[in-house]
Amino acid sequence: MAMGAPMNAPAGAPTAAPVAAVAVLAAANVLNNRVAPRLAPLTSAVAVGALLALGRRSGLSWSRMGFRDRSRGLRIGGVLAAAVAGVYSAGIAVPATRRFFHDERALSLSRARLAEEVLLQVPLGTVLLEEVGFRGVLYGLLARSHGPGRAAAVSSALFGLWHVLPAIDMAAANPALSRLTAGEAPGPPRFPEGPGRLEASEGPGRSRSSERDGRSGSSAGEGAAPGAPVGPPAREVARVVAGAVVTTGAAGVFFCELGRRGGLAAPVLFHLATNGLGYLFARLAPPDPGRAGAR
């Protein structure tokens, strides 16, 4: 069979296939964020294989799943990746924006773990799954049945919801960026910060708080012993999560447009730069006064 030739779609596939794709993504999201984060590259690779098989079995061609226009996509993605590096460089150079790069999930990593995140966890554990899943297979399935506009809207809304678990952890690890995401002024921290608050195996966008005690609806600091790290209030976490869902959903629309213009290569490169360089610039950002012991 030619690479671009779709298989015959079975009866009921237009309805069942998107639901199955969402189920695969939801399972991978929980596994990668809560159950086995260090195994995210393996989990994501298996999920990507399942999604691609689902797409082909449902009648999608490789082109409709985003595997096209590689040269154009690399050009578009390369320009955007360079722009991200420029914005991040300016961000850590200006004191007013430098605080947004102080993320304990990146600052607490050893050099070996930082290399693992940038070279393995981000490309395979995050970007590959999200782009193939949301901008490739799910978008292709929805576009076939409902058109590109609705496909972009639905897949982007689900992409926003995908970030609920990471946003909960960002509320503790990056207070300044969290308050900005929640639509608040990024003033001084309202709860204690410090290194070691988060497991070293986690990083920006896909992490678990070592303080979480599993009690529903409570922050880990409630009822904790004196001197123990205290997490953000539940209402603040809820605002951060809502803001993250909205902002990442909007980003998903932009990623879908990139995919429409340059295949998956364009959003993949942009996504890699946004996430991977985030780790590096968090380490390069000069510390704020009073945070001398934060690294």
What is the count of structural domains for the chain? 1
Residue 217 within a domain: no
Identify which of 77-86, 168-177, 279-288 has the greatest average pLDDT.
77-86
* 125 and 38 Cβ atoms separated by less than 8 Å: no
- Determine, yes or no, domain membership for 214: no
Quick check: helix, strand or coil at residue 206? strand
Mean confidence (pLDDT) of the chain: 82
The domain of 161 spans 17-209+231-284
Which has the minimum average pLDDT: 39-48, 252-261, 277-286? 277-286
Q: Mean pLDDT, to the nearest integer, of 42-49?
A: 98
Q: Is residue 219 part of a domain?
A: no
pLDDT of residue 157: 98
Has residue 221 been placed in a domain? no
Q: Is residue 294 part of a domain?
A: no
62-65 LR contacts (CB < 8 Å, sep 24+):
62/3, 62/4, 63/4, 64/6, 64/140, 64/143, 64/144, 65/132, 65/136, 65/137, 65/140, 65/264
Which range is least confidently modeled, 61-75, 98-112, 154-168, 210-224? Answer: 210-224
CA 114 centroid distance within chain: 17
In this model, does residue 54 exceed pLDDT 60? yes
Q: For residue 136, is it within any domain?
A: yes
- Torsion angles phi and psi, residue 206, rounded to 5: -160, 75
- Does pLDDT of 8 surpass 80? no
Q: Give the pLDDT of residue 195.
A: 35
Q: Rounded distance, CA 104 to CA 201, Å?
A: 12
Structure tokens given for 39? 């195994």
Using an 8 Å Cβ cutoff, are 210 and 197 in contact?
yes
Lowest mean pLDDT segment, chosen from 23-27, 189-193, 266-270? 189-193
pLDDT (tens digit, 9 = 90+) per residue, 89-143?
999 999 999 988 988 888 889 999 999 999 999 999 999 999 999 999 999 999 9
**C-alpha dihedral sign at 26, 31, 34, 35:** positive
Share of the chain above pLDDT 90, in %: 63
State how far the Cα of 129 lies from the Cα of 123, in Å rounded to an integer: 9
pLDDT in tens, 177-194: 666 666 665 555 444 443
Residue 243: inside a domain:
yes
The CB density around residue 155, as the number of other CB atoms within 10 Å, is 30
Q: Is residue 157 part of a domain?
A: yes
Q: What is the pLDDT of residues 121-132, one digit of tens each?
A: 999 999 999 999
State the pTM of this model.
0.78
Q: How far is CA 49 from the centre of its chain?
A: 19
